[in-house]
Structure formats: structure tokens, C-alpha cells
Structure 1
Amino acid sequence: MELTTREGTLFIRGRFDVRSTSLVRDRLYDEIDRTTDDVVVDLSELESIDATALRVLAVATRTMERSGRHLILRGCSPELRRVIAFTRLRRLVQLERAERGPLTA
């Protein structure tokens, strides 16, 4: 798991799962607290994601909405888009159009 923040975007590389959710959650909320703008989470180099990680993104989305902002997911692979649709998370999260890279869920 590698996390990088640059210009309002949190880049997540590697496996986003139960072992890394607390690290990602802390960095994500640091970014949410730091800015008054929308926050982008770049998942284009994500290797895998699990239900716990999806929940972190859903809760962060709700937190952002309370202040009139958005959490935007960038670089979602077609596989991740299907998982998001299947779990009905699509009702909560905002996705950018870019699609790249394989992902196992």
C-alpha cells in the first residue's frame, strides 16, 4: 500500500483492504479537513479492494456531502465500476469517466 497526496488528490496504490483501511481513512480525512474543495481519490493503480475499503469511501462521501462537497473517485477500472454498481455504492459516490487497469475485488 502506497499513499500520496498532491493538489487535492489522494493516490492509492496497491491493495486497499482491511489491513490498510485505517491508514487510508486517516490520510483521507486529513485531506478532507485540510481543504474546502472537493477531494479526488485516484484508484488507477489499485490492485485490489474489499468491502471494508468500500465502506471507508462511502462514509467519507457522506462526510463530504454534509459540507456541500464531493468525494470523487478517479481511475476506476471496469471491474471496480461493476463492484460499485453491484453494491449499490454508485448511489453515493461520484465517479470520473477515466477507466484503466485491472482490479480484483
Structure 2
Amino acid sequence: MDIMTDGSTLVLSGDFDVRSTWEVRNALYDLLSATDDDVVVDLSEVTSVDCTALKVLGAATLEASRAGHHLTLRGCGPAVRRLLHMSRLIRVVEVERVAQPA
């Protein structure tokens, strides 16, 4: 898992699973505490995700909300969206909408 920060955006690439959740969680909470802006987690380059990773994103969303911020997921592929729906976390997390081509 590669983690980069670009302003108030956390850019992830690779496998987001139980092996990388602690690292992502720390980076995400550090970013939330360091910025006054809303935070975006870019998952465009994430190749796989598991339920443990989704739990980290759900908990971070609630933490951001408590601090008066929004956390938005960007670049969610079909597999991530499917897991968000199956776990019902889609009710908790905000997923950036992408305009459909005409």
C-alpha cells in the first residue's frame, strides 16, 4: 500500500486490506487533525479492498463528522461500491459522484 498526501487529499494505491489498515488509519487521522478543510480519500489506484479497510473508512467518516468536517471517497471502483452496499456502509460514508458520459 502506497499512501501519499496531496493537500487535504489522501491518495491510496495498492491493496487496502487488513495488512495496511493500521498504516492508512494513522495517515488518515493525522490528516484529519492537521487540516481545517474537508478530507478526500482517493481510491482510484486501489486494486483490492476488504471489510477491515471499509471499517477504517467508516470510523474515519464519523471522526471527521465529529470534528465538523466531511470525508469523501473518490474513485471508488465497482468492487468497492459493491462492498459499501453489501456492508451498508454506503449509508455512512460519502462517495463522490462522477458525471456519466453522454
TM tier, shorter chain? over 0.9
The offset of 1:98, in angstroms, is 3.2
Q: When the two structures are aligned, how many residues end up with a matched partner? A: 99
CA distance in 1 between partners of 2:9 and 2:23 (Å): 16
2:3: which partner in 1?
Answer: 3
Gaps of 5+ in 2: none
User: Where in structure 1 do 4 or more consecutive aligned residues deviate above 4 Å?
Assistant: none
> Does residue 51 in structure 1 map to residue 51 in structure 2?
yes
CA distance in 2, matches of 1:98, 1:44: 12
Normalising by the residue count of structure 1, what TM-score does the alignment of the two structures yield?
Answer: 0.90
Say whether the 8 Å CA contact 2:10–2:42 is kept in structure 1.
yes
Gaps of 5+ in 1: 100-105
2:36 aligned partner, one-letter code: T
1:19-98 residue pairs with structure 2 within 5 A? 19-98=19-98
RMSD: 1.2
Cα deviation, residue 23, structure 1: 0.6
Amino acid at match of 2:68: G
What is the rounded CA distance, in whole Å, between the counterparts of 1:92 and 1:60 in structure 2? 10
Q: Distance in 2 between matches of 1:23 and 1:79?
A: 22
Percent identity (aligned)? 53
Mapped contact 1:73–1:94 kept (Cα < 8 A): yes
Deviation per residue, 1:60-105 (Å, 9 max, x gap): 0010111221110000012211210111001110011239xxxxxx
Partners of 2:78 and 2:20 lie apart in 1 by 23
Deviation sequence 1:17-69 (CA, Å, 0-9, x none): 11111110110011000011110000000010111111000100010111221
What SS does structure 2 have at the residue aligned with 1:72? strand
Rounded to whole Å, the distance in 2 between the matches of 1:53 and 1:79 is 13
